[in-house]
Amino acid sequence: MTEPVQALQTALAAEHAVIWGYAVVGARLDPALRDQVRVADAAHRDRRDATAELVRRLGGDPVPTSPSYVLPFVVAEPRAALRLAVHLEEGAAAAWRYVVAATDERPLRRTAIAALTDAAIRAAHWRRLVTPDSPTVPFPGAQP
Binding site for another protein (CB under 8 A): 1-2, 6-7, 10, 13-14, 16-18, 20-21, 35-40, 66-74, 87-88, 90-95, 97-98, 100-102, 104, 106, 109-110, 112-113, 116-117, 119-125, 128, 133-144
- The nearest distance, CB 10 to another protein, in angstroms, is 5
Instruction: Indicate the SS3 state at residue 55.
Output: helix
Instruction: Indicate the SS3 state at residue 21.
Output: helix
- The nearest distance, CB 127 to another protein, in angstroms, is 9
| For another protein, the closer CB: 56 or 99 | 99
Under 8 Å between Cβ of 3 and 39? no
Q: How far is CA 15 from CA 40, 43, 79, 95, 134, in A?
A: 11, 10, 22, 9, 25
- The nearest distance, CB 57 to another protein, in angstroms, is 20
